[in-house]
């Protein structure tokens, strides 16, 4: 029998849930320490959750969703499928990762934080229309 220590790799779902915790926490401008304090745990434990090193239990995930003001399902959006069964994730699509990439960028975070502060739905709609028009103009000028 071999005595080689086989370090277990984190489960892809645990990694995904952790990345969604980090995404939402940073969207809110909340530190790992503040989230940890709210949960009664250390920021190091939050780091382990966010990396997927430690699995988040159901009750803890419920507490995190409450503190971060999102439904528990938020943490599973676009989760990877089960490779054993070949089943797709809950909302898996080929283009879904661009949202996470965008919101993980400095510009994406700044834009999102500013946008959610706009309370008037008409102003929000006009802003979306403006961004679409700018994107269309950029597309047509690069062709």
Q: Are 39 and 30 in contact (CB under 8 A)?
A: no
Element (H, E) at 116: helix 106-116
CA 37 from centre of chain: 20
Q: Which CATH class is domain 8-93?
A: mainly alpha
| Residue 90, pLDDT score | 46
80-131 confidence digits (pLDDT tens):
875 444 444 444 444 456 666 777 678 888 888 888 888 898 998 999 899 8
Question: H helices within 7-96, ranges in order?
Answer: 12-27, 32-39, 43-51, 58-67
**Residues forming CATH 1.10.260.40 domain(s) in the chain:** 8-93
* 7/116 Cα distance (integer angstroms): 42
Please determine, for residue 28, whether its predicted confidence score (pLDDT) is greater than 90.
no
Evaluate if pTM is beyond 0.95.
no
DSSP 82: B
Residue 5: is its pLDDT beyond 60? no
* pLDDT 10s digits, 120-141: 989 989 998 998 899 888 778 7
């Amino acid at each position: 029998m071999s005595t080689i220590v086989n370090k277990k790799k984190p489960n892809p779902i645990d990694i995904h849930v952790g990345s969604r915790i980090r995404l939402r926490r940073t969207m809110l401008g909340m530190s790992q320490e503040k989230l940890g304090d709210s949960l009664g745990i250390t920021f190091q434990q939050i780091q382990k959750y966010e990396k997927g090193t430690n699995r988040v239990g159901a009750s803890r995930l419920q507490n995190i969703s409450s503190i971060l003001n999102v439904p528990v399902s938020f943490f599973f959006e676009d989760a990877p499928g089960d490779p054993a069964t070949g089943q797709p994730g809950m909302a898996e699509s080929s283009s879904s990762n661009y949202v996470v990439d965008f919101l993980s960028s400095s510009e994406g975070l700044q834009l999102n934080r500013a946008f959610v502060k706009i309370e008037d739905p008409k102003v929000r709609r006009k802003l979306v229309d403006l961004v679409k028009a700018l994107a269309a103009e950029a597309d047509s000028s690069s062709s």
